[in-house]
Amino acid sequence: MTQICYKPIGIIHSPFKSIAGVPIQPSAANGIKGHIVIDEEYTEGLADLDGFSHIYLLYHFHLSKSYNLKVVPFLDDKKRGVFSTRAPKRPNSIGLSIVRLTAVKSNILEIENIDIIDGTPLLDIKPYVREMEGLSDYKIGWLTEYKDGMKTKNSDHRFK
Amino acid sequence: MTQICYKPIGIIHSPFKSIAGVPIQPSAANGIKGHIVIDEEYTEGLADLDGFSHIYLLYHFHLSKSYNLKVVPFLDDKKRGVFSTRAPKRPNSIGLSIVRLTAVKSNILEIENIDIIDGTPLLDIKPYVREMEGLSDYKIGWLTEYKDGMKTKNSDHRFK
């Protein structure tokens, strides 16, 4: 299959400067603060994000240079198929985290509960919209009033 | 910033052959069946996935050829910053869905609750590990016995 190429939209900054010692997921990174510098060309796309308490970050594990199909995950002592783990060394080294969004200041996002290494290239941001255990102060911004509609509405051609 | 390139690991198959009429998210696609054909070179990486009831799919919106920083989402009639929406036309057109995993047969994954267009290139699979509203029969496979450890354990050098 052909390659698919993306250009990072910003850089994630965190207290974690090396691979070891990083919380293995946001639920273990409670309160740890970081920020994201979004390239200014994308600032307009951050509108309305401040209504959401939590966001998905999709990012590139830039320190992972290879992969194995079986890995021993941090939580286990047995080899597991890489797709049943969150291990960074995967065929496409894309990371996914849910973090708490505390402020949006122009092209800067202030975040908490960060389990990501400093300097990580950010690929995408999506709103986190579902109730999830362990998230306090949950909010879904402008979507709040559309909760019922979400379950029945289908797409149309507007994004063609 | 420099480009980051990925090679799809498989193709997602669904009943949705065109952009219109696709459920806008898995919660609206309850019971809709599809399957994923993973490239055989990655089959070994699917081990242990069958213990999970739900998985994250990260995929490329292959029909999105451009983007806007403000979009009118399917659920709204106002323009919103694209990063506060799940709109497919985004700077990096990466899609994220949580689907139900019903069977793993060699390199084929049978899935339900699919809100994805037929022929979509798959980039990554991750286990879905948190309790979430509206998911019945929730399971987290081999991670079940590590629920407590997840909150305290940090990473080490094994994926360097």
A27 interaction partners in chain B (CB closer than 8 Å): 130, 150-151
Enter the pTM of the model.
0.84
Is B140 within 8 Å of B154 (Cβ atoms)?
no
B92 interaction partners in chain A (CB closer than 8 Å): 6-7, 9, 58, 123-124
Range of weakest confidence among A49-63, A86-100, B13-27: B13-27
Q: What is the DSSP letter of B116?
A: S
- CA angle B95–B96–B102, rounded 5-degree value: 125
Beta strands A80-81 and A94-105 are unpaired
CB atoms within 10 A of CB A152: 10
> Which residue out of A7, A92, A108 would a mutagenesis test of the B interface target, given it has the greatest number of B Cβ atoms within 10 Å?
A92
CATH 2.40.30.70 fits B10-159, yes or no: yes
What pLDDT, on the 0 to 100 scale, is given for residue A25? 60
Report for A11-15, A50-54, B61-65, B153-157: range of highest mean pLDDT: A11-15
- B66 to chain A, any CB pair closer than 8 A? The answer is no
| B136 or B122: which leads in pLDDT | B122
Interface contact flag, A158 B72, Cβ < 8 Å: yes
Overall average pLDDT of the A33-59 stretch? 93
Overall average pLDDT of the B61-67 stretch? 91
Joined together, the tokens standing for residue A57 give: 């970050």
| B82 or A115: which leads in pLDDT | B82
- A145 to chain B, any CB pair closer than 8 A? The answer is no
pLDDT tens digits for range A105-136: 999 999 998 889 999 999 999 988 764 333 33
Q: What is the ipTM of this complex?
A: 0.84
- B21 to chain A, any CB pair closer than 8 A? The answer is yes
What pLDDT, on the 0 to 100 scale, is given for residue A134? 34
Overall average pLDDT of the A57-85 stretch? 88
